[in-house]
Structure 1
Amino acid sequence: MSISDRDPKTGGRPAAPTLLARAAAADLRADRRLATAIDDAFLGDDGRLDDRARAALAVTLESLVGGLETTIRAHAARLLTARALPQLAGLIADGVPALDRLRAAGLLRDPELMHELIGRVRQGLIADALPIEPPDRADQPSLLARLSRDPDQRIARGAVALLAAEAHRKAPIVTGTTLRTDLPAAIHRRLIWWVAAALRDVAAGDIDALDRALAEAAQRSIAAHDESDGLEAASTRLAAALDARAEELTALLTDALADQRLSLFIALLGHALGLGYGDVRDLVLDPDAERLWLVLRALELDRTAIAHIGLALCEADPRRDIEHFADTLDSIAAIAPEQARVAITPLLLPPDYRAAMLAVARGVRA
């Protein structure tokens, strides 16, 4: 059958208004696409997400927002049904996806949310790309396998908990189960309220009853959140249980990378420095890495250990320049630990103070 032979009484008629509306808005869409393409053309390479990171970030956002949306819709619909409002419950069960509304409102550009998600995505990509154990260690159990059998039960439980947290982070979200976002509590709470607000756009019905149901559903999800179950928290607890002495730290750091446990590598550095996980993750993920090399020298890691760590990160992260690292390795190793400790002193200031200093500097530059 040719295109001209299609029956307008079947699928053609309902689609016509939509087609006409889209045609009327075509100029506006084309203008927006051009503006986006121009912005993209003039973005600097420094800081730009590569294709892998962009795709992983999109999947992460869709999973998190979609999972929260499903949970809130389902609970709000149950509440409305129980309150003899089945029609409203039916409306809330469907509708425009929350992700589309949040994206259109610009809320997903929130710096704290994006900082956390981009950090999580890059950490996961680099961890998965870290070189596997060298052949001479192939017959040894992995680091976490060894630690899970440690006679110190705090260490053993911590290793098992980290394995479970890793499995959860990589597992797909299952509809109908309680969603664990692993987000910091403040960001999780903010995202929950955004999703709930994005779901209140219904054509008809008792808006007050809908608001009450959505608010209760959101509060239920907030109350169920426990960030201590997340990958970052599990890594931090294991690092604290290990409480590595100076002479043990080098082996643990290199073993963590050889085991593709970047989260544990970050947590071990954080424990040794007395810094929070997020601050150290920023250092480790920074492709320029000057602050990371200073931190490693401040902790008295030698040239061999820094070379091992640097090469592993260069292999796993395409943003890093392995030739530049090789050229600067001798200079890094020549920095005295005392000199490095003085240089990293600003990193050890209270996080809120450092954030305030950055905000002031950003304002002055503007």
Structure 2
Amino acid sequence: MASDNIDGAQLLALARLRSDEARAELFAVMGDLFHDRNDVLSAQERALMLDILEKLIGEVAQDVKRKLALRLADAPGLPRELAILLANDEIDVASPILLRSAVLQDIDLIEVIRHRSRQHILTIAMRRDLSGSVADALVETGDRDVIRTLLENQDADISRVTLAYLVEQSKTVDEFQEPLVRRRDLPQELARRMVYWVAAALRQAILDRFAIDPDTLDDRLEPVVKEEAAEAAREAEIDDASAVLARALGHGRQLTPRLLLQTLRKGEIQLFEAMFAEMSGLRLRLITRIAYEPGGQSLAVVTRAMGLNREEFATIFLLTRRARSAQATFAPADLGRALEFFDRLSHAAAETVLTRWRRDPDYLFAIRSIEEGQEKKRA
């Protein structure tokens, strides 16, 4: 039966026939019509064909549906309703639609991700021109194979926030590392961060397997890491007003613990961070981590090395907890533990640690992250 001269009555006649051959011919004819003559179909004809397909699609052999999906996957005239129907079928039917059909919208793909099989989700991860919202839905599955497939898809639009999250995850998920560094859209600062984390993981593996002094290994490994990081990216230094003021106060020898605390009490957080960085000799990015991290041990190290007393440390600890969130709460025992650590820490030991942090904060922070991960595994 030629598809170019078939009418609605003939389609209905075919639909009433229950043989496999008649159903196969019906789907073939309608596939041809949607693919080749969609622009001349009336709204009534389209609605009739779609209604027939929706009612009969569950009764048709998988091979027939697969051929229909292959035929219509690239058709711009494919009705969205039919595309959704095929995309939610078994994977051998859904695959060409999920991979190639341009009529599926983001919300349709996200629904498939949330309700269909892992094979459906992996297929979507390979789809060209994936939007950021669909990429986020794929990452939210938490499936490592899905996420790795997404990262390997250079046509996928992955937001900077999501890339940053995946870079963070790559500290402990090795299979994310290679596809991340190969992405053309990976920001330079994230690429640089990954260099340090991969090196820190390598360092931990070497220490686990061989009897090597950690300081000796750091002395050998750090120059190599710095060189690789420099090639990966040059960190952009943002010279804002707070940093300029803090630097000027430091040069004029006007930075004091009292001024630091006054600034923090006034809620001028950005200026406090810049002044704290200038006084400690650490980079601003590391200071913002140290100032607000749970526990306060790193904060105790920096303040003890700077010569601040117990009361000044306690004040900074309390005010930085409050600055992190207006609703932030912590148990009184947190302060007690932080003060106990501060009291046990000698000035000389704190200065030694601070000197190491000044060497290269990114590398050292990466080491610390790996070591903390090892401790959690052992706990």
TM-score, normalisation: structure 1: 0.40
Larger-Rg structure = 2
Greater relative contact order (CA < 8 Å, ≥ 6 in sequence): 1
TM-score, normalisation: structure 2: 0.39
